[in-house]
Every structure is written in structure tokens, then in C-alpha cells.
Amino acid sequence: MTTLWQDVRYGVRMLAKNPGFTAIALITLAIGIGANTIMFSIVNLFLFRPVQVKEPDRLVGCSTRDVLHFISYETYLDIRADNPAFSEVVATDWGLGLVTMVWGDITKRAHTMQVSSNYFSTLGVAPARGRFFSPEEERMGAEAIAVLSHHLWELRGADPEIVGQLITLNGTPFRIIGVAPKGFTGTSLVGPDLWLPLGSTPHLDARNTGYPLIDLVGRLRPGLSMAAAQARCAKGTAPPL
């Protein structure tokens, strides 16, 4: 019964995050990391074709099947460094962040998504302005920075000098370092207004000093099918060099 409830909860969360998901097939993967084995349910993101994403049919959304349904930041780093199925693994929060944004004389609610530094490169996109996050900037204690969606940038006049300007989120100034390409929504159908580094939670809420709850998205290794990935992980075999 506990396992059933975990599956139902995961399904509801995925549907809330990406309402375009229908008739999703789940595949179970076992990924060996040292002495531990982590069970995954993976969803082929090709089903909703993310806009402006390179080879979306090679992307799969992942989630652990543990009791708390939680992936820690440290576990994510282990998975990213050593797994038999994915060439890259990115981490995101649940994509449901809602903040109070103050930009000049405008105050409004805005949606955010916290992501790992390899998020944009794994999805195969380049910034329309500025740059994306560096590995150091995803860690806790790093500077408060943000990447704007192209849509939000356009709403504020598409200022060509936007990089370096400040925007206030929940009372904290964030420095704008880049703008995402036009039409890019990332790993969700609609996409957030802003992307923030994974370690941004304390900047948004001083009472919360930890990393957010993490979801994973992996890019299958070149030439590896979903079926082969499942078999490789189940056997615990290492990927070829």
C-alpha cells in the first residue's frame, strides 16, 4: 500500500508540473552507485516535446522510489558523476516556486525554477543574452543570480543592457546574468519566468537553509535505447569509455 501511495503521489506531482502528460509509460531502472542501488521511474520527455531543446527524445525524467520520495543534493552529485545510463544528469526543483518580484516600479508574482549549472547545456541551448550558471554558482552560499525567460525580458522592453541589472525576489536583490532563448521553456510545457541556481532557497526564504527537493532529468548515452538502458542498469554494468 505504501508503494502504491508513492506512485500515486509521484503521478499527481508530475501532472501538476506538466499537465500535457497523458498515457505515460513508466520504466523501472536500477542504477548502481558504489554499494547502493537507487530505483528510478523514468518518463520519456519526448511525449511533450520541449521547445528549443536538443534531441528531446533522448531525455528522461527521473525520480527515486524511496520512502520520502526525496533526492538530496549529494545523491544527485553521485548520480551525475557515475551512472550507466546517462551522459548528463541535471537537477531541478519541482518547478512550482512562486515569488514576489519587484522590478523598477513593477511588483508582481513570478514563477521560478531552481536548476543545476548543467541544465541549459544538457538541453542544448545557448543564451540570447549574457550567460548561464557556472558549477560554483549552483552551490549553497553563492551569489543571488538569475536567468530571465525570453518572455519576461520582452515584457520589460527587451533591454539590450539587461545583463548585470538587479531584480528583487522576495526582498532579495538578484543579479541578472543572462536571458534564455526565445521560445525556450526548459523541461516543462510552460516554463518559469526565471531560472535560479539550485542553492538559491536561502536567498528566497531565510528560514530555509537547505537545497530544494530535487527532480532529475537524464540524457541517454549516445546509441543507448531505453530498453538497453534498463537492461544495463539492472545488471549494474559500467558504460563503455
Return d(Cα 137, Cα 143) in angstroms, integer: 7
Tell me what percent of the residues of the chain surpass a pLDDT of 70.
71
Q: What is the pLDDT of residues 116-128, one digit of tens each?
A: 999 999 999 999 9
Segment 211-216 mean pLDDT = 88
| pLDDT of residue 38 exceeding 50 | no
Residue that is written with C-alpha cell 532579495 in the block: 172
| pLDDT of residue 37 exceeding 70 | no
pTM, full prediction:
0.78
DSSP the chain: -HHHHHHHHHHHHHHHH-TT--SPPPEEEEEEETTEEEEEEEEEGGGG--TT-S-GGGEEEEEE-STT----HHHHHHHHHS-SSEEEEEEE--S-EEEEEEETTEEEEEEEEEE-TTHHHHHT---SEE----GGGGSTT---EEEE-HHHHHHTT--TT-TT-EEEETTEEEEEEEEPPTT--TTSSS--SEEEEGGGHHHH-TT--SPPP-EEEEEEPTT--HHHHHHHHHHTPPPP-
User: Average pLDDT of the chain?
Assistant: 78
| pLDDT of residue 93 exceeding 80 | yes
